[in-house]
A and B are shown apart, each in its own frame.
Chain A
């Protein structure tokens, strides 16, 4: 299902620190998960994805962790930069529909 009507939680980090953004998903049947970054007035931009047969996946400066037992997903951003300031959403899918989590607004303090 979707998070409807909930306002975005916020996270502020110092430039150069690591950021951890969390997401709780709702459907235990979801088998594919994606993290998106959304800048103001734009559509979501793909960051990294993970399939349900994995529990960790790394990209450039980003790592996604999946805990299916508690239906939890996290995005770790290493050495956070001002350009990382945006809203981050996780999305879950069983293949037919994609549902987005509440999202987190990340602000990087120079």
Chain B
């Protein structure tokens, strides 16, 4: 149980275009979802935390107008990278936590490799 599905697994886009990444909880209701970014050979950097039905909380230094997060339902959160540039190329990973899980491990998706040309 507790499967998180992320789509697409990889995407290549041209500079200036926008890309949407989906994160779905398949067998549980995800009240909170977390979006991370990971550069090669580096750790996961928390970008934002989103609770279903409310605005996402962004970490310091993360541009909320560039990385749009929507968590409109208990099973789906989306991250849209707007006006993408080559420096946005990275591995984006979502994770989710269910209702009442409190302090419990996050369930992670398998990530999306974004390449901006």
Which residues of A are in contact with B by a Cβ distance under 8 Å? 2-8, 31-32, 34, 36, 41-46, 49, 51, 89, 91, 93, 95-103, 105
Tell me, in angstroms, the Cα distance from A36 to B6 when the chains sit together.
18
The stretch of B44-52, B70-78, B82-90 that contacts the partner chain = B44-52
User: Using a Cβ cutoff of 8 Å, how many contacts connect chains A and B?
Assistant: 69
Evaluate contact between B105 and A95: CB separation under 8 angstroms. no
Evaluate contact between B102 and A95: CB separation under 8 angstroms. yes
Evaluate contact between B34 and A43: CB separation under 8 angstroms. no
Q: Take A34-B105, A41-B113 as given contacts and tell me if A101 and B43 are in contact as well, using a CB distance cutoff of 8 Å.
A: yes
Tell me, in angstroms, the Cα distance from A96 to B44 when the chains sit together.
16
Tell me, in angstroms, the Cα distance from A51 to B110 when the chains sit together.
26
Interface residue from A49, A96, A100, A105 paired with B49 (Cβ < 8 Å): A96
Is B103 in contact with chain A by the CB < 8 A criterion?
yes
Interface residue from B6, B44, B91, B95 paired with A89 (Cβ < 8 Å): B44
Is B108 in contact with chain A by the CB < 8 A criterion?
yes
Evaluate contact between B110 and A99: CB separation under 8 angstroms. no
Evaluate contact between B105 and A8: CB separation under 8 angstroms. no
Q: Take A42-B110, A43-B108, A46-B105 as given contacts and tell me if A5 and B42 are in contact as well, using a CB distance cutoff of 8 Å.
A: yes
Instruction: Tell me how far the C-beta of B38 lies from the nearest C-beta in chain A, rounded to whole angstroms.
Output: 9
Q: Which residues of A contact B36 (CB under 8 A)?
A: 100
Evaluate contact between A2 and B43: CB separation under 8 angstroms. yes
Instruction: Tell me how far the C-beta of A26 lies from the nearest C-beta in chain B, rounded to whole angstroms.
Output: 12
Q: Tell me the nearest residue of chain B to A10, going by C-beta.
A: B41
Q: Which residues of A contact B42 (CB under 8 A)?
A: 4-8, 103
Evaluate contact between B111 and A42: CB separation under 8 angstroms. yes
Tell me, in angstroms, the Cα distance from A46 to B4 when the chains sit together.
13
Tell me, in angstroms, the Cα distance from A98 to B113 when the chains sit together.
21
Is B106 in contact with chain A by the CB < 8 A criterion?
yes
